[in-house]
Amino acid sequence: MRYTRRSFVKTAGMGGVAIASYPRFSILSEKRLTVEVLNPFNRVPVSLIIDDSTCLVNLAHYGIPQFAEVFPDQYKQDWRKLPREIPDIFVREFGEWCQENGVKGKYSIVPYPACTGWVNRFIPGWTKRELEDSLNLIREVIVPNWDIHPEMVSHTRVIDIKTGKPFPFPTPEYMENWEWSQTKSADELAGYQAYALTILKEAGLPCEGLTTPGGYGGRNQNNLALGTMEAVRDVFGAEIPHYFRDLFTEKDKSVAPLVLHPSDLKGPDPKCVVSIIGCTGDWFGNWDGLTAGSADNYITEDLQSGRMVDVIESGEPAIMVCHWPGVYFNGEHTGFKILKQVKNRLDQKYDHLVWMKLSEIARYWAAKELTSIAVNANKISINAPYSSAGFTLKLNSSLKNPGIKIGGEDLKPMARVKNKKEIKSNTWFSDKTESIVCFDLQKGSSELIL
């Protein structure tokens, strides 16, 4: 079954999404030399998705009463006991720890959080200076290692983008989390999403993707993908838009990114959009502040099991998902402490992980899926619609002195490493049976000379 990002979200399958049908492997030459695209740097990508974050506002405190107005039988929590604010001192503590420990991922900034105020203008209850300081803090300690996403506009009421006012109807049809998005066209979704993205652009925050709140677009994913591609390209000019909508916690369910709607791959302006898929539940602490989490759900104390272990062992990107109120967890920092435990356990067990932002994972998967690779007698011809760092190939043959030739440039030699774990850009490893070559893939034509 699909794990819902909230207890109140009802989601559906990926019906109707157009998945790129490009080969992951090259065709075989007469000598039966084969080429396989590996993970970046021959490592397993890991990342952390943080939902419901924004400037100052604790979305749970202000959102729960709005959800309760729609579903009074489901939301009986005394939301007034929740902190109204997640303070910047915690944002700094969290962000600086992540910088020191190499943790990367996605951090939402809800543009009009629970209809309290606008991050590009003012938020009642906080001074203009406090908002500006909060935005500066995001730019300083979050932006370098995290993608910034809007989580639609308010994460509660649907906004009339012609007036900027919330629709006055407390029904599922006018809530972002539920029904409003399920019947909209790609253009309608693009317009709404562009509205959210524009607010963050005016606030001076960069975006290459977006996050859906709750069940937004769950039964309308083809239009969601197209609308995301249109909106992100239009507002920010991002080359490879991406979005986070789904997560799976089943052991046998793939969580590899989906490269969708590729087109114009041989032209100067190739297009695609990437759906990033999470692999864990809300296990640092529930978004509503009611239930604390456990590190054992990710990786047990003996390092032998847990969802992160399952996914890392499969070789697919292991992308954790959490909610900012759960990380702060009523001011007790419980979720943050669990994250530290998980990071420590992962470091104890593995030495082949690479922390990446969602945009970096999206770019690599677009390059992996859409790059054309042809094997000849003494070279591999590569035609890439997108560039990507750490592009890594495995050949079923030993090599001597490979080099990379980009366009009309001179041949660039590569450095040999003695261990696969030492692989980095512009290096190669070879034994008697196979070789691994890693280089920074450039857009356009290049040749790997064997």
Mean pLDDT taken over the chain = 92
- Looking at the fold, whether 324 and 428 belong to one and the same domain comes out as no
434: tokens are: 């196979």
Residues 426, 328: one domain?
no
DSSP state at residue 265? T
In terms of Cβ atoms closer than 10 Å to its own Cβ (0-12, 13-18, 19+), residue 151 is: buried
Residue 158 lies in a domain: yes
Residue 144 in tokens:
């370098």
Instruction: Tell whether the model's pLDDT for residue 149 goes beyond 70.
Output: yes
What pLDDT score was predicted for residue 226? 98
Shared domain check, 213 and 156? yes
Can you give the C-alpha Rg of the chain in angstroms? 23
Answer for the pair 261, 225: CB distance below 8 angstroms, yes or no: yes
Average pLDDT value for residue range 110-131: 98
Residue 368 has pLDDT above 60, yes or no: yes
- Cα separation, 55 vs 134, in Å, equals 6
Does residue 286 sit in the same domain as residue 406? no
Per-residue pLDDT, 391: 98
Q: Contact at 8 Å (CB) between 283 and 293?
A: yes
For tokens 């034509």, the residue is 445
pLDDT tier for residue 410 given thresholds of 50, 70 and 90: confident
Give the residue from 359, 393, 412 where a domain finishes. Answer: 359
Range of the domain at 425: 371-449
- Note the pLDDT tens digit of each residue in 19-66: 333 334 333 334 578 999 999 999 999 999 999 999 999 999 999 999
- Residue 117 falls inside a structural domain: yes
Q: Same domain for 205 and 227?
A: yes
| Lowest-pLDDT range of 20-24, 61-65, 79-83, 222-226 | 20-24
Whether residues 432 and 336 share a domain: the answer is no
* Confidence check: pLDDT of 179 > 50: yes
Secondary structure element (H or E) that encloses residue 223, with its range: helix 221-236
> Which CATH number do you get for residue 291?
3.20.20
Q: Is there a domain that residue 26 lies in?
A: no
30 located within any domain:
no
Domains in the chain, number:
2
Distance CA 208, CA 239 (A): 8
Q: Specify whether the CB–CB gap between 244 and 212 falls below 8 A.
A: yes
Residue 5 in this model has a pLDDT that exceeds 90: no
The whole-angstrom separation of Cα 331 and Cα 327 is 9
Q: Identify whether residues 263 and 290 lie together within a single domain.
A: yes
Task: Give the torsion sign (CA, 2, 151, 227, 220).
Answer: positive
